[in-house]
Each structure stands twice: as C-alpha cells, then as structure tokens.
Amino acid sequence: MTRRLLPVCLLALALLPPIWLPTEVRDSLDVPITVRQVQGPRGAVQNGWQLRGVWEYDADSLMFGGYSALLALYGDQLRAFSDRGTRLTFIAPDVEHGPEQKAPVMARQLVEATHALDLWDIESATRDPITDQYWLGFENTHAVHRYSVASEPDGVRLIGSDVNWSANSGAEAMARLRDGRFLIIPEGGKEGLIYSADPVSGVEAQTFEYRTPISGFGITDAVQLPDGRLLILLRNVVWGIPPFEARLAIAEIPGADAEQVLEPRIVLNLTQLAPPENYEGLAVRARGDGTIDLWIVSDDNLSVMQRTLLVKLRFDPARELKTEVEAEAASAAIQAKQKARE
C-alpha cells in the first residue's frame, strides 16, 4: 500500500502551484548562480533537429527559478523571466568565456507603479529585434506589459475583461510576428488572441481557433521561425519524476484575411532527446548557414524534485520531414539504432 501511495504523493506535490506573494526586493539581486553541463551533444539528427547540450542552473535563493519565458537578445545573451517576478540575463553557456565575461545577473522585473502588487507571474515574452523593446505576458492578473531596451516599464494593458481565462491559464505563449501582429495563446485553451499591432497601443483583438496537435498537451510557449512559421512548445503531465513530457510543433500562421485557425503538427518528441522537465520558455536565433539554434528553459515550480534546465537544440529546415508519418518513421529508426548500440 505504501509503495503505491508514494508515487501518487510525489506527483501531487510536484503539481502544487507555488504559493508566492510578491514582496519588495532590491532591483538587482546579488545571488551567486552556478552552471553545470548535465548532457552533451548527441550526433543523431531527428527530423532536422539535433541536441547540442543541456545545462543546469542553480542558486540559493527563493527568487531564483520558476522561469517560464525566454528571449534571445543581441550577441550571445539570453534572458529568462520567472513566475516570481524576476529576470535572469546571461551569456549562452556554450560560448567561450574570457576573463571579462559577465556572470549571470538576476534582477527584479519592474512594473508600472499602479500594478506593483498585481503583476509578478510572468508566463510569456516577445521582442522587437529592431527597437529592442520587449513585451511580457502576465498570468493571474491577465496583462501585457511593454518595456524599453533598458527594461524600463513603458505601458501596460489589462486584458482580463476581454477573455474568459482562469487565473492560472493566462498568456502562456505570446509572439510578436514580423508583420507587426501579436499572437497570444492561453494554456489549455482552444481560442487565442491576435492583435493587428502592439496590444498596449489599444488595438482590439480578434480571436482564432487553436487546435492542439496531441491530446493532453497544453501550450507553454511559441516563437516565430525565420521562415515565418510558428514554433510551439507543448507540455503534458504524466506519471514520473518529474511528471512531464514535452513536444515541439510547427504551424502555418494564418494571414489577416485568412480563416483564423492555428493547427500545428508535431515535429519533435523533446523527451527523447533531453531530460524530462517542465519546459516552459523558448527562444530562437538564426545562424548564417541557414540552420537555427533553439533554447528551451524549464520552470522548477519551487520543487525539490525539479531543476532549472537550459536545453540547446539545432534545427536544419532543409532536413525537416514534412509529414508526421515521415517524422514518426525517422524517430523510430533512430531509437532502434540507439537501442542496438546499447
């Protein structure tokens, strides 16, 4: 009886939402952060995707972790945002470190003063690569907040009255498209929002139908690829420690005059390449040779059984298989070869 109850109790603890009250903290949090590589590159290319490495980040602070959104900044910088109201700016861990290399910096994410106690649960992020402005999507109090390149608050829009989302199912994925539109999808929802321009500017949203490509999986982030398609990160809760599995999917983004339906297809089983975790944030960076680097960060949920992991993948669109049948067959062949080696 005890053995049967143990995994149930562990799963329940892992899924408990963190009880987090916003508190006044210093804008800059001087906390030593450690980084170690837990998995190296894997040579096999699965549907155009290849694992380049996995790193674990850690710090002795309750303000660290909970990262649910990720941006690729200029150079080799990445910035993760947490559901505890902080941001972590750091250099990609596979970049050669010189003596002048900056250490990761954790800071409080400021919000407009009138919402200082309401906006702290950050779930999504997107950026304008021309102006370096960025936008954050907040859960619980549903909002889109705009920031300057210096991370100064630059306007906010509360969207709670426009949607019928629960407190823990907010703007889980948000992408600024290259044509200036903004796309927002809630976790577990069947309907998303699309704005013709910056939501903070006051433009009204249209709704579109979101069709999940795989039962049980909810969206946790999305970003536009260089070829214009939308890359989507999906997560499911399963029996295990930690109790998660993840997939990547790709969808054609509907035009302004097209039928408003977003229907992704699965392109990668992430759990086959990287350790299982609660992956919630992703960012892409185009390379000069036509391939794409993808970074994925996990949310540790303040759980001792989870970790803050950063996964790097490389995607070669030229080697992508265009149908799910082709992708599944290729995945099965790779798995069979790996088992044969073992």
Q: How far apart are CA 229 and CA 118, in angstroms?
A: 34
CA–centroid distance for 107 within its chain: 19
% of the chain at pLDDT higher than 70? 83
What pLDDT is stored for residue 20 in this prediction?
A: 40
**Beta-sheet strands, E only, within 148-275:** 153-158, 173-176, 182-185, 191-195, 205-210, 218-224, 230-237, 244-251, 261-262, 265-269
Task: Indicate the class that CATH gives domain 36-341.
Answer: mainly beta
Nearest alpha-carbon partner for 246 in 235, 257, 260: 235
Minimum mean pLDDT among 69-78, 160-169, 220-229: which range?
Answer: 160-169
Contact 223, 172 (CB under 8 A): no
Beta-carbon contacts of residue 159 (< 8 Å; ≥ 6 apart): 142, 143, 144, 171, 193, 199, 205
As to burial, measured by CB atoms within 10 angstroms (0-12 exposed, 13-18 middle, 19+ buried), residue 131 is exposed
Q: Which residues pair with 134 in a beta bridge?
A: 127, 147
Alpha-carbon gap, residue 2 to 4, rounded angstroms: 5
pLDDT for residue 97 is more than 90? no
- Kindly report the average pLDDT of the chain as a whole number: 86
**What pLDDT does 213 receive?**
93
198-209 pLDDT per residue, tens: 999 999 999 899
Q: Is the pLDDT of residue 338 over 60?
A: no
Q: Residues near 295 by Cβ (< 8 Å), separated by ≥ 6?
A: 70, 72, 78, 92, 282, 283, 284, 285, 310, 311, 312, 313
DSSP 46: B
Most confident of 161-165, 301-305, 331-335: 301-305
From 120-129, 159-168, 244-253, 300-309, the region with the lowest mean pLDDT:
159-168
Question: What's the pLDDT score for residue 23?
Answer: 39
Pick from 161-165, 221-225, 297-301: least confident = 161-165
**pLDDT, tens digit, 9 for 90 and up, residues 40-93:** 998 778 889 999 999 999 999 989 999 999 999 988 999 999 999 999 999 999
Residues 153 and 110: beta-carbon distance below 8 Å: yes
Q: What is the pLDDT of residue 103?
A: 85
**Do residues 172 and 143 lie in contact, with contact meaning Cβ atoms separated by under 8 Å?**
no
User: In the numeric block, which tokens belong to residue 64?
Assistant: 């660290």
The pLDDT score that the predictor gives to residue 144 is 96
Lowest mean pLDDT among 128-137, 194-203, 214-223, 248-257: 248-257
Q: Alpha carbon of 142 to those of 7, 21, 124, 154, 186: distances in Å?
A: 34, 17, 11, 17, 10
Q: Please answer whether residues 212 and 172 qualify as being in contact, where contact means their C-beta atoms are separated by less than 8 angstroms.
A: no
The lowest-confidence range among 7-11, 63-67, 211-215, 237-241 is: 7-11
Which segment of 102-111, 130-139, 271-280, 282-291 scores lowest on mean pLDDT?
102-111
Residue 192: DSSP 8-state: E
Predicted confidence at residue 21, as pLDDT, reads 39
Could you give the C-alpha distances from 52 to 63, 295, 328, in angstroms and in order? 28, 10, 21
pLDDT value, residue 5: 37
Confidence of residue 178 (pLDDT cuts 50, 70, 90): very high
Q: What is the dihedral of CA 66, 69, 74, 75, to 10 degrees?
A: 50
Task: Quote the pLDDT of residue 320.
Answer: 87
